[in-house]
């Protein structure tokens, strides 16, 4: 399977200088399952890091009669952490598009970053899409 253009299941929302934001849609088409994804080249450090951020709406069975609210509150107070899961279904083509978008954007954003460094006379980084 090859990357589709336009890509099924993933939509570019914004293209910034060193980041891109996408809307990734679940196969079930429920807006509760969609995800916002940011791909960003770390431009404020000397490392060659790529930052992927995923934003999803999560919910808790807070008002479910079988869910113990006080147990959840106690866990949050004593550990500072409450974990949630988010599941999203992608068909094969959407999964290929998702992976290729990440690979292509990392390469493009790294090229932009290197061009900016070259213009400023700083050393350029390695290509993160190349494997050893």
Q: Which residue has the tokens 């949050």?
A: 76
- Residue 101: pLDDT over 90: no
Domain presence at residue 84: no
Q: Which of 13-17, 23-27, 83-87, 102-106 has the lowest mean pLDDT?
A: 83-87
Domain presence at residue 48: yes
Range of the domain at 34: 10-59+90-120
- What does the pLDDT read at residue 78? 94
Domain presence at residue 76: no
Domain presence at residue 17: yes
Cβ 124 vs Cβ 46: under 8 Å: no
The number of folded domains in the chain is 1
Domain presence at residue 66: no
Q: Which residue has the tokens 């006379």?
A: 121
């Amino acid at each position: 399977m090859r990357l589709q253009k336009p890509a099924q299941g993933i939509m570019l929302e914004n293209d910034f200088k060193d980041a891109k934001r996408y809307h990734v849609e679940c196969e079930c088409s429920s807006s509760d399952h969609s995800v916002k994804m940011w791909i960003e080249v770390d431009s404020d450090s000397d490392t060659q890091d790529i930052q992927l951020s995923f934003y999803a709406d999560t919910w808790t069975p807070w008002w479910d009669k079988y869910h113990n609210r006080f147990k959840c509150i106690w866990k949050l107070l004593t550990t500072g952490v409450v974990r949630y899961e988010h599941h999203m279904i992608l068909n094969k083509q959407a999964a290929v598009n998702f992976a290729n978008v990440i690979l292509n954007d990392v390469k493009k954003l790294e090229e932009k970053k290197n061009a900016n460094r070259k213009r400023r006379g700083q050393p350029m980084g390695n290509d993160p899409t190349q494997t050893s």
